[in-house]
């Protein structure tokens, strides 16, 4: 969307995504660039059903990586959906993502026509040149929408109750001669093949991003072609094993929608390097780093 500088002085506007289902179900992005909340100005962003057309619309181009996936809903019915809204950091080619309730369903009907985020992004952050959201007076917003049409799931039910879940056995990686790997930017051991999906543990021995040379960074990445396969919701644990005493493991738990535009999730600050390299802690006994991956995979469609 170009010509964004005019947003600061115009009335609230909305952008329409070209997302419909044979003309039956259409979604819009409702963008409010001047929302004052507690004395601060925010970009407010909402997912709106087609019936909530109270203000002017402008065209927003949905990039292929942000195209929505959904089923048709008959006009007049309640629509239950879980969704994510995006804005592109054009400098780093990464997306800032806001997720609606981490998988909780939202209900859209004649009364509730919009659901989203009043404090999606501070306007100062959005406009600041160092952030990359607004370059050459252009920005890119997007949405991914998953609609439930079974009619059995009530408003507020967790996603875990609407889809089958598959619990993986623990997958353990023993990375030998780990100290010799510090010269590498990252390691990606053998693939995990589970639930007809492929996964990969990504290890950054010296850390990643702002935590380089400070922390060990660990990520879980989908190794599937998510442009052609359904997105998938996963709850998972990554654990660095206390090899010496088997007492003080370091563990993080994550929940994430893995999709074409966002196929990796983890922590750049998983654990401090000083803790990892402390011989008294036992994490690198015999110069081996042991990482355990556990996943609860929930079908996304």
Average pLDDT over residues 250-277: 90
Residue with tokens 């355990």: 292
Q: Convert 135-160 to b/e letters by CB count within 10 Å (16 or more is b).
A: eeeebbbbbbbbbbbeeebeeeeebe
CATH topology identical between 4-158 and 165-299:
yes
Residue with tokens 């493991």: 249
The per-residue pLDDT for 100 is: 64
Rg, the chain, Cα only: 22
What's the CA gap between 145 and 50, in Å, rounded? 14
Which of these ranges, 73-82, 139-148, 191-200, 291-300, has the smallest mean pLDDT? 73-82
**105 vs 213 pLDDT, higher one:** 213
Who contacts 116 (Cβ-Cβ below 8 Å, separation ≥6)? 30, 44, 45, 46, 47, 48, 85, 98, 100
What's the CA gap between 281 and 275, in Å, rounded? 7
The per-residue pLDDT for 104 is: 65
The per-residue pLDDT for 48 is: 83
**300 vs 154 pLDDT, higher one:** 300
- What number of helices (H) and strands (E) belong to the chain? 2, 18
The per-residue pLDDT for 4 is: 55
85: tokens are 């809204």
The per-residue pLDDT for 1 is: 55
Alpha helices in the chain, H assignment, sequence order: 123-127, 273-276
The per-residue pLDDT for 163 is: 44
- Inter-residue long-range contacts of 151-159, CB under 8 Å, 24+ positions, other chains counted: 153/80, 153/105, 155/80, 155/105, 155/106, 155/107, 156/104, 156/105, 157/104, 157/105, 158/103, 158/104, 159/82, 159/103, 159/104, 159/105, 159/233, 159/298
pLDDT, one tens digit per residue, over 140-176 is 888 888 776 554 333 222 333 334 567 778 899 999 9
The per-residue pLDDT for 149 is: 56
136 by DSSP, 3-state: which?
Answer: coil
What's the CA gap between 19 and 29, in Å, rounded? 10
pLDDT, one tens digit per residue, over 8-55 is 433 344 444 444 443 445 678 888 888 888 888 998 888 887 643 333
Residue of 154, 125, 118 lying closest to 139 (CA atoms): 125
Q: pLDDT-derived band of residue 248, with 50, 70 and 90 as boundaries?
A: confident
Q: Give the domain ranges of the chain.
A: 4-158, 165-299
CA 84 to each of CA 99, 112, 243: distance values in angstroms, whole numbers, following the listed order:
4, 18, 39
pLDDT, one tens digit per residue, over 181-240 is 777 778 888 888 877 788 999 999 999 989 999 999 999 999 988 777 777 888 899 999
What's the CA gap between 218 and 60, in Å, rounded? 35
The top-level CATH class assigned to 165-299 is: mainly beta
The per-residue pLDDT for 25 is: 52
The per-residue pLDDT for 16 is: 43
Average pLDDT over residues 70-96: 71
Instruction: Give the CA angle between residues 27, 231, 227 to the nearest 5°.
Output: 85
Q: Which of 71-85, 161-175, 201-215, 286-300 has the highest mean pLDDT?
A: 201-215
Burial (0-12, 13-18, 19+ Cβ within 10 Å), 252:
middle
Q: pLDDT-derived band of residue 108, with 50, 70 and 90 as boundaries?
A: confident
Architecture of domain 4-158: Sandwich (2.60)
The per-residue pLDDT for 166 is: 73
The per-residue pLDDT for 77 is: 64
**122 vs 92 pLDDT, higher one:** 122
- With beta carbons less than 8 A apart as the criterion, state whether 263 and 207 touch: no
């Amino acid at each position: 969307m170009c010509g964004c500088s005019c947003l600061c002085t115009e009335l609230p506007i909305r952008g329409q995504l070209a997302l419909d289902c044979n003309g039956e179900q259409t979604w819009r992005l409702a963008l409010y660039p001047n929302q004052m909340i507690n004395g601060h100005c925010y970009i407010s962003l909402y997912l709106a059903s087609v019936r909530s057309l109270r203000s002017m619309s402008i065209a927003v181009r949905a990039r292929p990586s942000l195209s929505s996936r959904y089923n048709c809903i008959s006009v007049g019915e309640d629509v239950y959906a879980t969704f994510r809204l995006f804005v592109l950091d054009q400098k780093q080619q990464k997306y800032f993502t806001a997720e609606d309730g981490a998988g909780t369903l939202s209900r859209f009907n004649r009364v509730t026509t919009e659901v989203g985020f009043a404090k999606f992004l501070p306007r100062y952050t959005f406009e600041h040149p160092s952030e990359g959201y607004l370059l050459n007076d252009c920005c890119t917003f997007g949405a991914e929408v998953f609609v439930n049409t079974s009619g059995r799931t009530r408003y507020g039910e967790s996603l875990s109750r609407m889809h089958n879940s598959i619990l993986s056995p623990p997958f353990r990686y023993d990375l030998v001669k780990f100290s010799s790997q510090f010269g590498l930017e990252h390691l990606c051991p053998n693939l995990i093949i589970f639930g007809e999906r492929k996964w990969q543990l990504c290890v950054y021995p010296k850390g990643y991003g702002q935590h380089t040379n400070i922390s060990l960074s660990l990520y879980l990445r989908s190794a599937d072609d998510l442009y052609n396969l359904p997105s998938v919701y996963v709850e998972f644990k990554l654990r660095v094993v206390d090899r010496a005493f088997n007492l003080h493991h370091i563990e993080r738990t994550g929940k994430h929608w893995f999709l074409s535009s966002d196929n990796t999730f983890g922590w750049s600050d998983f654990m401090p390097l000083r803790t990892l390299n402390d011989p008294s802690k036992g994490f690198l006994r015999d110069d081996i780093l042991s990482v355990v991956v556990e996943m609860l995979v929930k079908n996304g469609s």
